[in-house]
């Protein structure tokens, strides 16, 4: 097909690309091929063979989506690169591949002129996939692509002829994209928000995103929060990151919430390695991208802390042995990080691996799931060699980021480089379900006993009677636990079950007392 000025401009295919063509470069509709080539810098055979689109224009893969779509509608195809004009005055601006080393990307971007950077920004879908670019550039590119995708999906959903299957697929895509958009708008009152990554066709079919509170390119202290099982873009996945940002005492800070990969959807999926195996490369590249962009903007790598929670700790552990480098690594509620010792994590300096573990966290029932040989050291084991910090007022599996907790305070101090303020403790060295039950007694029943006993001292007859029963049941349950510790392995499960029954009985008594009395505890 012969390309003329009218076949491009009359349809507006290139008008949205500022600077792509000026009037001095425009060819007339009826100009000979040689004259058109002279204006465009394209080589044309001497016999006047018509100029094809491939000799003039970039490939569809290198054009902005809107431009490529318009060209396809006009039947124009070919190969080339994004360039500032059809003339030879401005050289082409090739976009690096998505997996290009972040340091090389930073160098490439710094070497472009302002005009070239603006031109490259037209191809925002590809630009947003790079690591090592400034946060402002990534944010602009990814938000443009996100808005385009939302609009396109809404338009497709308006088609009344869609099958139910296609409609559900499109609706999930729209829900995911709206989830990313909402998350990228969160926290505006306390921090500037950057959409560092947007991957609509992410790992194992999950939409990926990476969102920063504060600018990580210029922040002295940057923390990366890696969530665990169940995290997805339609959930409130940025909540813990924003809580940490507000708690950090650093005067120059950023907190990046990483979900640029797939997390297990539920606990049944979390027993498998495949999620972490698929996420390892992305996690490593994103961490190194943060470092490279900071180096380019600030002249140094900054202080970078990565915090892995639950299954996210396993993803982080793998990344730290596959090219990622951080200044501090923090593991909380971990089922294992893939190595036996802190010193085996090649991407962390010695003495800068940290661990927080609640004694009644049920993850302890699977504390060796992702340790070597399924029997190696968990970060909460003293032999692992991490620095352990107190999480004394955080219970269960989901309170490590609880606002006002000692756990959150310690994590914030580590992320701010305020190491002297961290409340260090001995390694928990939990040995399984019996320790878990013992800690559950300490966390829940002992405070209840104290409350009831205070009623006894106040002379409350009902409270005294209830207290006697509660104390007897609680003490009996604890005796069962102690017996279990000394029992043979064949009897342990039965005794532990009996202890659980006693625990439930005591809890039921406590609930009954609470309903009888006018006060609440």
Portion of the chain with pLDDT greater than 70, in percent: 64
Fold held by 135-425: Rossmann fold (3.40.50)
Structure tokens at 224: 């990366």
Angstrom distance (rounded) from CA 519 to CA 497? 32
Quote the pLDDT of residue 472.
61
- Range in 71-75, 146-150, 307-311, 455-459 the model is least confident about: 71-75
Does the pLDDT of residue 333 top 60, yes or no? Answer: yes
**What is the band of 250 on the pLDDT scale with cuts at 50, 70, 90?**
very high
Angstrom distance (rounded) from CA 313 to CA 329? 9
DSSP sequence for 506-517: HHHHHHHHHHHS
Quote the pLDDT of residue 374.
82
- Residue bearing the bigger pLDDT, 149 or 12: 149
Ramachandran quadrant class, 395 (left: phi over 0; alpha: psi -120 to 50; beta: rest) = beta
Ramachandran quadrant class, 385 (left: phi over 0; alpha: psi -120 to 50; beta: rest) = left
Per-residue pLDDT tens for 251-306? 999 999 999 887 777 677 777 788 788 889 999 999 999 999 999 999 999 999 99
Q: Are the CB atoms for 455 and 467 separated by under 8 Å?
A: yes
Structure tokens at 108: 């490439």
Q: Are the CB atoms for 409 and 356 separated by under 8 Å?
A: no
Angstrom distance (rounded) from CA 58 to CA 165? 36
Does the pLDDT of residue 188 top 70, yes or no? Answer: no
Cα Rg of the chain, angstroms: 30
Does the pLDDT of residue 482 top 80, yes or no? Answer: no
87 contacts: CB under 8 Å, gap ≥ 6: 24, 25, 39, 40, 41
Does the pLDDT of residue 63 top 90, yes or no? Answer: no
Q: In sequence order, which ranges of 158-268 are alpha helices (DSSP H)?
A: 164-183, 239-247
Q: Is 63 exposed, middle or buried (0-12, 13-18, 19+ CB in 10 A)?
A: buried
Angstrom distance (rounded) from CA 186 to CA 240? 12
DSSP sequence for 356-400: E--TT-GGGGGTTTTSGGGTS--TTSGGG-PEEE--TT--SSS-T
50-59 average pLDDT score: 39
**DSSP, res 253:** E
Quote the pLDDT of residue 501.
55
- Range in 107-121, 277-291, 337-351, 465-479 the model is least confident about: 465-479
**DSSP, res 344:** G
Query: Residue 450 CB: number of other CB atoms within 10 A?
Result: 10
**What is the band of 52 on the pLDDT scale with cuts at 50, 70, 90?**
very low
Quote the pLDDT of residue 285.
96
7-22 average pLDDT score: 34
Q: Are strands 424-425 and 387-389 parallel, antiparallel or unpaired?
A: antiparallel
The distance of Cα 218 from the centroid of its chain, to the nearest Å, equals 20
CA distances from 141 to 120, 130, 145, 192, 199 (A): 10, 10, 6, 16, 12
Query: Residue 156 CB: number of other CB atoms within 10 A?
Result: 15
Q: Are the CB atoms for 80 and 62 separated by under 8 Å?
A: yes
Average pLDDT score, the chain: 77
- Residue bearing the bigger pLDDT, 512 or 288: 288
The most confident of 94-98, 221-225, 262-266, by mean pLDDT: 221-225
Per-residue pLDDT tens for 385-413? 999 999 999 999 999 999 999 999 999 99
Structure tokens at 115: 């005009």
Query: Residue 161 CB: number of other CB atoms within 10 A?
Result: 5
448-477 average pLDDT score: 58
Per-residue pLDDT tens for 298-329? 999 999 999 999 999 999 999 999 999 999 99
Quote the pLDDT of residue 511.
53
476-488 average pLDDT score: 55
Ramachandran quadrant class, 345 (left: phi over 0; alpha: psi -120 to 50; beta: rest) = beta
- What are the two backbone dihedrals, phi and then psi, of residue 449, each rounded to the nearest 5 degrees? -60, -45
Structure tokens at 333: 């509620």
Does the pLDDT of residue 205 top 90, yes or no? Answer: no
Quote the pLDDT of residue 7.
35
Quote the pLDDT of residue 23.
33
Q: Are the CB atoms for 135 and 196 separated by under 8 Å?
A: yes
Quote the pLDDT of residue 406.
97
129-149 average pLDDT score: 98
The distance of Cα 245 from the centroid of its chain, to the nearest Å, equals 15
């Amino acid at each position: 097909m012969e390309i003329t000025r009218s076949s491009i401009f009359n349809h507006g295919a290139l008008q949205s690309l500022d600077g792509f063509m000026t009037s001095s470069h425009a060819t007339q509709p009826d100009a000979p091929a040689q004259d058109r080539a002279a204006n465009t810098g394209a080589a044309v055979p001497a016999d006047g063979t018509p100029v094809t689109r491939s000799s003039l224009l970039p490939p569809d893969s290198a054009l902005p989506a809107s431009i490529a779509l318009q060209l396809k509608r006009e039947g124009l195809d070919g190969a080339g690169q994004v360039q500032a004009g059809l003339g030879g005055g401005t050289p082409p601006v090739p976009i690096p591949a998505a997996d290009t080393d972040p340091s090389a990307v930073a160098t490439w971007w710094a070497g472009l002129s302002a005009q070239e950077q603006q031109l490259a920004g037209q191809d925002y879908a590809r630009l947003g996939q790079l690591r090592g670019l400034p946060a402002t550039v990534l944010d602009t590119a990814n938000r443009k692509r996100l808005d385009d995708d939302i609009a396109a999906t809404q338009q497709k959903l308006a088609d009344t002829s869609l099958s139910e299957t296609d409609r559900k697929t499109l609706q999930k895509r729209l829900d995911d994209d709206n989830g990313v958009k909402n998350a990228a708008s969160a926290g505006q009152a306390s921090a500037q928000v950057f959409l560092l990554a947007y991957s609509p066709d992410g790992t194992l079919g999950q939409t990926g995103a990476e969102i920063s509170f504060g600018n990580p390119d210029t922040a002295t202290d940057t923390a990366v929060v890696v969530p665990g099982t169940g995290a997805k873009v339609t959930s409130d996945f940025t909540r813990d990151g924003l809580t940490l940002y507000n708690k950090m005492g650093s005067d120059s800070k950023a907190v990046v919430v990483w979900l640029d990969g797939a997390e297990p959807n539920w606990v049944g999926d979390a027993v498998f390695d495949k999620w972490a195996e698929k996420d390892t490369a992305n996690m490593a590249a994103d961490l190194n991208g943060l470092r490279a962009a900071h180096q380019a903007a600030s002249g140094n790598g900054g202080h970078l802390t990565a915090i892995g929670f639950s299954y996210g700790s396993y993803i982080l552990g793998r990344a730290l042995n596959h090219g990622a480098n951080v200044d501090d690594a923090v593991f909380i509620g971990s089922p294992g990080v893939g190595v036996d010792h802190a010193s085996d994590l090649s991407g962390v300096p010695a003495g800068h691996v940290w661990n927080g573990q609640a004694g009644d966290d049920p993850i302890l029932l699977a504390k060796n799931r992702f340790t070597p040989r399924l029997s190696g050291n968990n970060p909460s084991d003293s032999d692992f060699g991490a620095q352990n910090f107190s999480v004394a007022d955080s219970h269960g599996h989901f309170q490590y980021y609880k606002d006002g907790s000692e756990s959150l305070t310690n994590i914030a101090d580590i992320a701010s480089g305020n190491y002297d303020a961290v409340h260090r403790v001995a390694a928990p060295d939990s040995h399984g379900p019996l320790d878990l039950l013992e800690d559950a007694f300490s966390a829940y029943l002992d405070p209840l006993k104290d409350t009831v006993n205070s009623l006894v001292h106040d002379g409350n007859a009902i409270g005294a009677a209830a207290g006697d029963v509660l104390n007897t049941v609680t003490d009996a349950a604890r005796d069962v636990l102690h017996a279990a510790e000394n029992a043979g392995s064949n009897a342990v499960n039965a005794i532990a079950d009996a202890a659980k029954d006693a625990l439930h009985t005591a809890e039921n008594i406590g609930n009954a007392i609470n309903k009888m009395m006018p006060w609440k505890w």
